[in-house]
Structure 1
């Protein structure tokens, strides 16, 4: 990078957080150090807003967050959504129609009210949620596409995640974005053009920061657009092959505090 980094963008699960979803004291300290040095720290995640308190409870700072793979830009201090790019109801209906025609046994859930609530079909498996009171089954089939959704979630039993996202993307034909951030066969669908890169670029521009001044960390395919956009792309050691292939550097794994290790080195290097 030719200029001093001004923005640190990091994915959460599998990247900043350990496998048990905890944030190590070393990592929390590294983030605090970045903020003390005047850098903007941004959490860029597929998680909905309602899952962020689990992270904020482990750190003293309250970094900005880009949630739902770029669909929501969130200020935790004011508890305010600065920007949202949801799937419109008519678009949701068409996406669902196409996937039901192409994917046997597919079931759906939607993240609504900027990701503060989830609604799902009775056949959709809920494997983990931080706020069960915000989650319920649809009262009717039409509820699936009755209101805008910042993310549509699709499952069809046990699937190879890379093959499944390829199948879904082909069925959508560019109508919406399809990606994945886990190995459980879950595909995450956003409005066309909505990615982690788009959300981060909007926030960076708001602060007068260029892509060449951004260091980004990630581990899964939904991080690829952000890592491709950022001036410096860093994969953690446990990253998906697609992420390692486009990264400028590879640090230690998430369970070895890879983000913290890289930031410690970055701080020393740029101070010199």
Structure 2
């Protein structure tokens, strides 16, 4: 029998709309893991929020976090397989954001601690809320100036991601400005904030969910990967999988490339599929 690695996105796929796992999903996943099935999550989130979401799931594998820029072990709190940005590329990108006065968070990862800095003036309401929701996390430390002064990390070679949420017209303009810079993979997309606000992020070129999943497939000795997703940023992971599964609430572009379309995230469809797959 084939050894299968099941990998699920979190938001809009495994989780309920309120950003939590239902008790049914938790129970089904724990039963599947107890039966020896290989399961993990692949998410753009960091352990600051992932830890609370999966705390009741008896994970036997580490989680793919930062959109594939790192692997995180919930049991030990340790990171591995970290994909840092090239230092010169990170410095050029930070300077471009600064010159263009584009507000964005600058994340570094060092000694298993995420440090977060900010470029582009005072925090807007969304940025402030983002920070306040994570201020007391043991996994993150914020270094933000109350006066809006740009704060840069002491060691830019530890850069793992730039992340911002701004009005769509600003996000699209900066994306066009920096997407051709060497040594980074830049994204601009809509997610949880609707069409008026776009998310912008930048990573090392090889920091993708797809690459992280394939490396985990090799490490676990799995014969096949079944991946679950709902959004555009899940498409490369789904295309890299042996079986691509879209939830019913997925975007049309995701359903189009999926091998299978299952029920919506609100119906515990991912956990149900894993539990019933033989």
Pairwise same-fold verdict (TM > 0.5)? yes
Quote the residue 1:128 is aligned against: 130
Q: How many angstroms apart in 1 are the aligned matches of 2:173 and 2:9? A: 22
TM-score, normalization by structure 1: 0.82
The counterpart of 1:107, out of the listed 103, 109, 114, is 103
Question: By percentage of residues, which structure has more helix?
Answer: 1
Q: Which region of structure 1 is more displaced relative to structure 2, 34-43 or 179-188? A: 179-188
Matched, 1:191 2:183: no
Quote the residue 1:200 is aligned against: 213
- 1:12-59 superposed Cα distances (whole Å, 9 cap, x missing partner): 111111011121121112211321232211111101122222123333
**Using a 3 Å threshold, how does the CA distance of structure 1 residues 65 and 209 change in structure 2: closer, same or farther?**
same
Deviations 1:239-263 (A, max 9, x none): 2233222211111221221212322
Q: How far apart are the structure 1 equivalents of 2:203 and 2:173?
A: 15
Shift of 1:71: 0.6
Matched, 1:220 2:231: yes
SS of corresponding position for 1:4 = coil
Structure 2 residue ranges without an equivalent (≥5): none
Instruction: Answer whether contact 2:9 2:43 (CA < 8 A) is retained.
Output: yes
RMSD (Å) for aligned C-alpha atoms: 2.8
User: Which of 238, 254, 257 is the equivalent residue of 2:265?
Assistant: 254
Residue 66 of structure 1 aligns with which residue? 64
Unaligned runs of 5+ in 1: none
Pair 1:28–1:53, CA change in 2 (3 A)? same
1:159 aligned onto 2:172: no
- Tell whether the 8 Å contact from 2:3 to 2:221 is kept in structure 1 after alignment: no
The verdict on how the C-alpha distance between 1:250 and 1:153 changes in structure 2, with shifts beyond 3 A counting, is: same
Does residue 83 (structure 1) correspond to residue 81 (structure 2)? The answer is yes
| Alpha-carbon separation, structure 1, partners of 2:211 and 2:113 | 18
1:51-98 per-position Cα deviation (integer Å, ceiling 9, x unaligned): 222123333445420100001111222222121012233211222344
Instruction: State the partner residue of 2:275.
Output: 264
1:95, 1:172 within 8 Å by CA — same for their partners in 2?
A: no
Structure 1 residues 100, 110: closer, same or farther in 2, change over 3 A?
Answer: closer
The correspondence for 2:7, drawn from 1, 6, 9, is: 9
CA displacement, residues 127-180 of structure 1 (integer Å, 9 cap, x when unaligned): 33553143341585361584322211133x3217xx956961673226322334
2:159 maps to: 149
1:50 and 1:117 in contact (8 A); partners too:
no
Q: Is the 8 A contact 2:107 2:115 kept in 1?
A: yes
Aligned counterpart for 1:238 among listed residues 226, 244, 249: 249
Q: Write the distance in 1 (CA, Å) between the matches of 2:5 and 2:25.
A: 16
The structural deviation recorded for 1:120 is: 2.2
- Cα displacement (A) at 1:189: 1.3
Q: What secondary structure does 1:117 align onto?
A: strand
In the alignment, the residues of structure 1 paired with residue 23 and residue 29 of structure 2 have an alpha-carbon distance, to the nearest angstrom, of 10
Stretches (4+) displaced over 3 A: 60-63, 96-101, 126-130, 163-167
